[in-house]
Structure 1
Amino acid sequence: METNKRGAGISRRAALGLGLGGMTALLTACQTAKSAELPALPRADALSADQRELLSAARREGTVTLYSSNDPSVVDNIVAAMDHYDIKVDFQRLNSAPLAQRYSAEAQAGKVVADVIVTGDPMFADDAGANGWLAGIGSLPALAEWPARFKTDHYPILSVNPYCLGLNTELTDGTPREWTYAVDPKWEGQLVMANPATTGTVNLAAWNLLRERYGDDFLRQVGARKPNLFDSATSAMQQVAAGAGAVFMLSSVVSVQAMKKLGAPVAAVVPADAPTTGIESAACVSAKAPHPNAARFLLNFFMTGPGQKILNPVSSSPADAPGTPALPAKFVRPDYTKAKANKSRLLKLLDA
């Protein structure tokens, strides 16, 4: 199975079908999303006694520094929400891998800048906790009600971006209820994937989950469909949105919805009769945070109803907060340990 040489961008066929304007729109989809409306925020005097105590201490510091891998539109609403409570947010937006590198370098040098870290890589959060870089969060008021499977001593999982089938609705029909939909022989040459050899452990965790569900032969069938492989999920989804592919196997819901918002004929379908996993976002407080009280207030806010609505306009709330997309009924947390242990086997089965 060879990587599609057009994987770095959109195909000629897609460009001709869309025109220059459409092509540009798709290429910039993730950067042009409009911020969701800021939810109603309770006044400071309407907060619980525990939250008011946190806020009072946070206001004395006045500022919180956030390192985040969230979409810029989400960060904008975080800034606006904290402004409502008279707290300034200084933020640095980085994708998960550069964020981990920068934070690790600063922590190792004893020059911690970030008060709060929001990362799409819980494994980094586990390592940072083991290194003593993260504060315990057990006393935060909102944590007591947070689902047990989505919290540790050092972080809660705040968002889940489930894996799905990303479908071009002009080239497909029906609502698949099993992942086996993608291995129908009719999709040969029309199946699109992010290259599992290069896209990270969480993607491999999803493939391992499907192997456990359907067996090794299922992954062999995926490889037999000769999928077009791309170096990123964004590039793969652009192809489906443009009609250069029909089915994106293991897209994320957020990737599909970004294209749909621009008018592309796409749908995100999480097979209802099968398990799925997804990309999780963890939030942590630095053990040596320069603004520890503001950090604790912000992290606690993230776990409240308004905070969850800000963080999850498209992704799912682990706590099923009102006004957020529901977590898939058969969602399974990614097993990173199994994914790492089985990497060679998975890639061989997929012929990747």
Structure 2
Amino acid sequence: MNKITRRSVVLGAAVALAAGLAGCGGGPSAGEGTAEVTDPALKELVAAAREEGTLTLYGIPDEQVLRAVAEKFTELYGVQVRPVRLVSADLAQRFSSEADAKAPASDAILLTYSPFYAEALQKNWLTPLSSAGIPGYPENYPADYLAQDGDVAIVSLVPTSMVYNTDTVTQAPSSWQAYADPRYRGKLAMADPATSPANLAFWHLMRQNYGDDFLRGVAANNPAWQNSAVPGTQAVAAGEFALGHPGVEAIVRNLRESGAPVDTTIPGPTTGPEIGLGLTAGSEHPNAAKLFAHFLLSEEGSGLLAEVSGAGSPYGKGLPQGFERPAAVSPEQAAQLKQLLSSQ
């Protein structure tokens, strides 16, 4: 398959996703739902959410992941979902602009957990989960994944993987050190570490495991630095690059199912972004947002998100051996990583 054809496959998959999203929002029409609700507090919340009828969800997971979760929520509770997929930086900027203007368009957000959440809570842009009145929260949720004193919950753990073109790389690399192998000079597509705290945490982990010379070796291979994982993954799928970073399993799965020669591997210790759930303060559909939070914080909802995204659940599902939760990277360490990698 030549590069033009591969690129057509990649773009065709993206167009199909966009068309599906534009058509109807989240899935089944609003209605009664199939969930059997007996708890009085939850029953009252379900009735209020159905009265509102709709939920607007801003999220960074892949479009098909958002759709799958939205469709299950609608099936259970009869509340329609409009998912809006954005990369982390764009989502944070859009949400902040709307909140600062006191014109929120979202009801809930799924965004990489970062200092953004503390700022948004301090500015009253988010309703603290601990005081939102979500039935069963926080006592039934894994305590290790409660942040900001329970005002934010970590709902997804996304292991960082390596993405590779299966036509160019016939055997999955066995070590992250492949990124520094001279045979891949000019053949790497990588998200700039500065685009995400999780990317910085990954390269910090690589520095701890493989040393500064490994990072210098990566820099010597002249990576094409990207503003997120998406364009790099698409370029690897199209055959423009051999290896990419980071691999996002849900995106790669969609491309592979469309016929693109692309796959992922986790060839050693890894970390990855943690996605937090936030409820938009002053939103148009607060009860639908609280009900969605109840669903996503349940073992059923968390397990569904992990299954469709290829990520891990706070309830212990889906995490690879050797996964480490992302460590905080100081500004000094971030500057050192940028210098060693010669990133933008």
TM superposition score category, shorter chain reference: 0.7 to 0.9
Q: Name the residue aligned to 1:86.
A: 78
Q: Name the residue aligned to 1:342.
A: 333
Give 1:260 deviation, angstroms: 1.6
1:190 aligns with 2:175: no
Give 1:310 deviation, angstroms: 4.7
| Distance in 2 of aligned mates of 1:68 and 1:351 | 30
Q: Partner of 1:156: helix, strand, or coil?
A: strand
8 Å Cα contact 2:255-2:262 kept in structure 1: yes
1:144 aligns with 2:135: no
Q: TM-score, normalised by structure 2?
A: 0.80
1:278 aligns with 2:275: no
| Distance in 2 of aligned mates of 1:69 and 1:102 | 12
Write the mapping of 1:248-263 to structure 2, written as runs, cut at 5 A.
Answer: 248-263=244-259
Structure 1 residues 332 and 131, CA, compared in 2 at 3 Å: closer, same or farther? farther
8 Å Cα contact 2:201-2:326 kept in structure 1: yes
Q: Partner of 1:342: helix, strand, or coil?
A: helix
| Distance in 1 of aligned mates of 2:114 and 2:146 | 11
8 Å Cα contact 1:170-1:265 kept in structure 2: yes
8 Å Cα contact 1:305-1:321 kept in structure 2: no
Q: Name the residue aligned to 2:293.
A: 299
Q: Partner of 1:220: helix, strand, or coil?
A: helix
Structure 1 residues 292 and 46, CA, compared in 2 at 3 Å: closer, same or farther? closer
Give 1:53 deviation, angstroms: 4.2
Q: Name the residue aligned to 1:221.
A: 217
Structure 1 residues 77 and 223, CA, compared in 2 at 3 Å: closer, same or farther? closer
| Distance in 1 of aligned mates of 2:215 and 2:41 | 51
Give 1:340 deviation, angstroms: 3.6
Calculate the aligned-residue CA RMSD, in Å: 3.3
Q: Which amino acid aligns with 2:223?
A: P
1:332 aligns with 2:320: no
Q: For 1:134, which of 126, 129, 142 is the aligned residue?
A: 126
Q: Name the residue aligned to 2:176.
A: 179
| Distance in 2 of aligned mates of 1:277 and 1:316 | 11
Q: For 2:2, which of 5, 8, 17 is the aligned residue?
A: 17
8 Å Cα contact 1:57-1:294 kept in structure 2: yes
Where do 5+ consecutive residues of structure 1 fail to align? 1-15
Q: TM-score, normalised by structure 1?
A: 0.78
8 Å Cα contact 1:44-1:52 kept in structure 2: no
Where do 5+ consecutive residues of structure 2 fail to align? none
Q: For 2:10, which of 21, 26, 31 is the aligned residue?
A: 26
- Percent identical pairs in the alignment equals 32
| Distance in 2 of aligned mates of 1:250 and 1:116 | 26
Q: Which amino acid aligns with 1:262?
A: S
Give 1:300 deviation, angstroms: 1.0
Give 1:219 deviation, angstroms: 0.7
Give 1:32 deviation, angstroms: 3.0
Q: Partner of 1:66: helix, strand, or coil?
A: strand
Name whichever of 274-283 and 204-213 sits farther off. 274-283
Structure 1 residues 195 and 309, CA, compared in 2 at 3 Å: closer, same or farther? same
Give 1:282 deviation, angstroms: 1.6
Give 1:292 deviation, angstroms: 2.8
1:107 aligns with 2:99: yes
Give 1:50 deviation, angstroms: 5.1
8 Å Cα contact 1:260-1:267 kept in structure 2: yes
Q: Partner of 1:44: helix, strand, or coil?
A: coil
Give 1:316 deviation, angstroms: 1.1
Q: Name the residue aligned to 1:235.
A: 231
| Distance in 2 of aligned mates of 1:244 and 1:348 | 26
Q: Name the residue aligned to 2:59.
A: 68
Q: Which amino acid aligns with 1:338?
A: V
Give 1:298 deviation, angstroms: 0.9
Structure 1 residues 257 and 88, CA, compared in 2 at 3 Å: closer, same or farther? closer
Structure 1 residues 82 and 189, CA, compared in 2 at 3 Å: closer, same or farther? closer
Q: Partner of 1:226: helix, strand, or coil?
A: coil
Q: Partner of 2:312: helix, strand, or coil?
A: coil
8 Å Cα contact 1:157-1:318 kept in structure 2: no
Q: Which amino acid aligns with 1:80?
A: E
